Each structure stands twice: as structure tokens, then as C-alpha cells.
Structure 1
Amino acid sequence: MEEQRKILEGLILGIRELLRDARLGQFDTRERAVMGRLARFMAPHYRGWDIDTDHERRGDDPKYLDILPNGEPGQKPIVPDIIVHELGVQNNLLVVELKLSDNTNIALDLWKLTHMTREDGLYGYSVGAHIVLNLDQQNVAQSIIFVGGAPHPELTDWFQRHFRQ
């Protein structure tokens, strides 16, 4: 679990920096803009890694999962919000799905994180994070950390403690 905590530290620091900007809550800032800004704040904490937003490619092919949201076999195209990885090779560190607090449609995000963090899956990300930001209150309203294809309650509690006021 110490390895996963180290991976998440850069995300925590990036979110803290993002939330310090009170202007974000004053405007109708949308997820894509917040996502791009968060990726920039995360970058210094992941030296040597590539950080991409809306990265929909897996090599020359579209990024997809090999199971449909209803559990049936099949291929479903996906576009993760933020990934920390090594471009061009199967070395995937962190996948982040981000929501703003006015968007409660999280089922697809949780499905993506479950399958993108499966050790036996197509991607095998070490850690996944589902983050819900409340920009008006400048806090993390909710978070769920995924490891090995499932939510990890202990890491989730540890992560969320970094944002309690």
C-alpha cells in the first residue's frame, strides 16, 4: 500500500494547488478546463512520466475496454480523463476520472476505473482515482481509490483525509 500512496501523493499535491485558486468557483468552469489545469499541476510531481488528458489512443488503435458496462463481452471505446503513463509502452501508473459536484453521473467512471486497474486487464494501471470536486467550496467532495480492479477503502480514507478541513 505504500507504493500506491506514493503514486497518489502527486495527485493530492496537484488537487491542493488547483483548489487554492478561488476563481474557479466564481465562473462556470467545466470539467475539461479543470482537468487540463489539474494535469498541469500534477506534472512536476510525476517527473519522467507522461501525463495526458482525454487520451483516447492505445498505440494506433482507439482505447477500449473488453467488457461492456452491462457485463457482456464486447469492446467499448473509452476516454480516460487524466492518465499518468509511459507513452508507447504498457507502463501505466495512474488513471483519474474527474467530476464536478454538479455532475452526479458517475457509473461509467467507476466502471472504467474498475477495468482499467485490473491487473489482468488491458491496461493494468497501478492506481485509479475517482475525484468529485466542489469548486465553490474549494474541496474534494468525494473520492474513491481503485487498486486491482476494486475500490480500496483504506486508501480511499487515507486520500480523503488530505482534504478534510
Structure 2
Amino acid sequence: MQPELDKLVAALEEFYAQERFLLEKDAGERALTHRLAVYLERQYPTWQIDCDYNRLGERTLLLPHGTIISTDDTLGKSIYPDIVVHQREVPENLLAIEVRKASNHQSLAHDQHKLKALTDPHLWFAYWFGVLLILARRNVMASEVYVGGEIDRALTAWLAGRLKDQGLGAS
């Protein structure tokens, strides 16, 4: 998993080096996720990278019954991960990313719940892993790594250390 996370770190390095304008102007989350996706494409050349992608083959991604409901659609049931690294037609799902701006003071619970569901191996759309990124203007303020439907504390600590080593993590 660490080699795949290293690719994410490399994409974040390029993102922070190239997107100062968007970060300084406090651009919206969708603008930031789009630009991050561009840099992820360079790191994952054999995978497809999509923003707000709610499909698995012909099916729509839906949270299991009885879970927190998304308000992303009219039925309030489908989910739209901010960025996914996957194969659209196979389907094979590598990485789901939820991005938050540091200035967003809403609860993280919804994004965390989505990543738990997206990485749950008992669900048909399971991603190998998921990452929550909280982006500040100059660095990644916080991050969490999800594997098997739960936060992976060891990988979360490893990613935080890697980001700090690259000058991208919070001090």
C-alpha cells in the first residue's frame, strides 16, 4: 500500500507546486479536486482517474440501507467520491479520495463514513483503500487512510510522516 500512497504524495507535491493561485484565491473544493486529479493521472498511468464518479460498471454507487444519507442527488442515496482511481469497465477500484478544504468547518463524519463504506470489503464497490485529505493553502493539514472499512492507524501515521518529510504536512 505504501508505494500507492507514495504516488499520492508525488501528486500532492506537484499540486502544491503548480496550483498556488487556486490555493491563495481560496478556490472551491471542486476546482481543487479537479486539479489534483490531473496530477494523479501522471502517477497512475494505467488507471482511470475521475472526479465525482458515482458508477460501478452499469450500477450506481449507493450507500447501504440504514447508513448516513448523502444529499448529493435527488434520491439522497447515491454517493460521489471526490476522486477515484479505478478501472471503469472491469470494474476494479484502487483508491477513493475525499478532499476537504481546511476552511470547511462542517463535521468530517460524512466524508469519513463514505470512506469506510467505499473500502468495506463486504460491499460490492470496495476500493483497496481510501484517503481523506484536508487541504490548507500551503500544506495538507490532516489525512486519514482507510482500509477494510476502517481507519488504518499505521498507514495514517506513515502518510502523515511522508507528507511531513516532503514539506507537505502540518508541523
TM-score normalised over the length of structure 1: 0.88
| Per-residue deviation, residues 110-144 of structure 1 (Å, max 9, x unmatched) | 00100110111121211100000001xx1110101
Match of 1:159 in 2: 159
Per-residue deviation, 1:17: 1.0
Q: Is the 1:50–1:87 contact (alpha carbons within 8 Å) kept by the matching residues of 2?
A: yes
Aligned partners of 1:156 and 1:55: how far apart in 2? 24
* 2:94 and 2:127 in contact (8 A); partners too: yes
Counterpart in the other structure of 2:32: 34
CA distance in 1, matches of 2:23, 2:44: 27
Residue among 126, 129, 135 paired with 1:127: 129
* Cα pair distance change 1:100/1:41, threshold 3 Å: same
Identity score, percent: 31
Instruction: Quote the Cα distance in structure 2 between the aligned partners of 1:116 and 1:84.
Output: 12
Q: Is the 8 A contact 2:53 2:83 kept in 1?
A: yes
1:108-147 mapped onto 2 (5 Å cutoff): 108-135=110-137, 138-147=138-147
Please tell me whether residue 97 in structure 1 is matched to residue 90 in structure 2.
no
**Structure 2: 5+ residue runs without aligned partners?**
70-75
Question: Which structure 1 residue ranges, 5 or more long, are not aligned?
Answer: none
Q: Residue 150 in 1 paired to residue 147 in 2?
A: no
Aligned twin of 1:53: 51
- 1:66 CA displacement: 1.5
**Matching residue of 1:87:** 88
1:9 correspondence with 2:11? no
SS at match of 2:67: coil
1:9 Cα offset (Å): 1.6
8 Å contact from structure 1 (residues 54, 81) kept in 2: yes
Aligned residues: 157
Match of 1:65 among 57, 63, 66: 63
In structure 1, distance between residues paired with 2:65 and 2:144: 21
CA distance in 2, matches of 1:121, 1:94: 15
Normalized per residue, the structure richer in strand is 1
Question: 2: distance between equivalents of 1:133 and 1:142?
Answer: 7
**Structure 1 residue matching 2:77: 3-state secondary structure:** strand
Q: Is the 8 A contact 1:55 1:81 kept in 2?
A: yes
TM-score, normalization by structure 2: 0.85
- From 16, 22, 25, give the equivalent of 1:24: 22
Could you tell me how far 1:45 is from its partner in structure 2? Answer: 1.0
